[in-house]
Amino acid sequence: MTRPVPARVARRALLAKGFKEAQGSRDHEMFLLYERDAKTRFFVKLSRSGADVRLDHMRIMGRAFGIRTEDLYRVLNCEYDAAQTLEVWRTRPVR
């Protein structure tokens, strides 16, 4: 079951699963997934003021990247390790 993920959990998970912090904005932090030192287009934007990554945000990101919301939830909630995270990205049905 998917539910909102605390931003601090998501931030820690992303940095441990192959994402690197990128240039953000005043309002948002940005994290890009790297594969073998190459940037991918898979990114997660976290609000600097928001306490949680909300479900609608996960759904729209899932649609954008061709990833199931449940898989994105497990990435953000630190249930997937780095290898599983990369596998989610590599095996996405929509490219």
57 binds another protein (CB under 8 A): yes
**Biggest distance spanned by C-alpha atoms of the chain:** 33
73 binds another protein (CB under 8 A): no
CA distance 81 to 33: 13
| Pairing relationship of beta strands 5-6 and 52-53 according to DSSP bridges | antiparallel
15 binds another protein (CB under 8 A): no
Q: Give the shortest CB-21-to-another protein separation in angstroms.
A: 10
Closest CA to 8 of 85, 82, 76: 76
Radius of gyration of the chain (CA): 12
Q: What are phi and psi for residue 36, nearest 5 degrees?
A: 50, 50
78 binds another protein (CB under 8 A): no
- Nearest residue (CB) to another protein, 42 versus 80: 42
Residue of the chain from 16, 48, 56, 83 that contacts another protein (CB under 8 A)? 56
Q: Tell me the number of residues near another protein by CB under 8 A.
A: 32
Residues near another protein (CB under 8 A): 22-28, 30, 32, 34-43, 45, 54-57, 59-61, 63-66, 95
